[in-house]
């Protein structure tokens, strides 16, 4: 059985001054940390869903992924700066510390903040006192939602990008 491990967020936010929306997860999974990119687990459907709704080619490399979100005015980060966690289990998170979102909001005119999954949504509200727009998790653990259902849910970001 795995034990709790203290994790500090391993990578910087992806954004630039043109970013219009901020998409936040909770904390990168073990596979994302190894791949050194947000949603780096090959079974996570984030990049498939985002490229589909943006009518863009599927990004194969980390550089392609960064370019895709920046070119489409999307900022990516996570709610947490650090936490104790067992593996990649959001339900095990304890002793969480929040990221400083001013790093992004002081440089980009963010119109909307989206949180992926219930844990990110609850943590964002708890630490900031603000609401976010909920998006269902693209994690392989969320097998109840088909790709088609995720695409429908994620299309709501498009109105903030125009």
Mean per-residue pLDDT for 62-83? 97
117 pLDDT band (50/70/90 cuts)?
very high
- 74-98 pLDDT, tens digit per residue, is 999 999 999 888 877 777 889 999 9
6 pLDDT band (50/70/90 cuts)?
confident
Give catalytic residue positions. Answer: 44
pTM for the model: 0.94
Is-contact 161 21, C-beta < 8 A?
yes
Q: Structural domain boundaries of the chain? A: 13-161
Q: How far apart are CA 46 and CA 38, in angstroms?
A: 9
CATH number for the domain formed by residue range(s) 13-161: 3.40.470.10
Instruction: Provide the mean pLDDT of the chain.
Output: 94
Mean per-residue pLDDT for 116-141? 94
What's the DSSP call for residue 61? S
């Amino acid at each position: 059985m795995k034990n709790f491990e203290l994790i500090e967020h391993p990578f910087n936010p992806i954004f630039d001054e043109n970013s219009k929306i901020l998409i936040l997860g909770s904390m990168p999974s073990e596979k994302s940390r190894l791949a050194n990119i947000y949603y780096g687990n090959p079974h996570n459907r984030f990049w498939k869903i985002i490229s589909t709704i943006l009518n863009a080619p599927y990004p194969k490399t980390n550089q392609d992924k960064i370019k895709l979100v920046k070119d489409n005015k999307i900022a990516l980060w996570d709610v947490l700066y650090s936490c104790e966690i067992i593996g990649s289990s959001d339900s095990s998170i304890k002793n969480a510390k929040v990221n400083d979102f001013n790093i992004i909001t002081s440089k980009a005119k963010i119109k909307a903040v989206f949180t992926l999954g219930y844990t990110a949504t609850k943590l964002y509200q708890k630490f900031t006192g603000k609401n976010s727009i909920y998006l269902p998790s693209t994690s392989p653990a969320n097998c109840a939602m088909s790709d088609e259902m995720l695409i429908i849910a994620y299309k709501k970001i498009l109105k903030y990008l125009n």
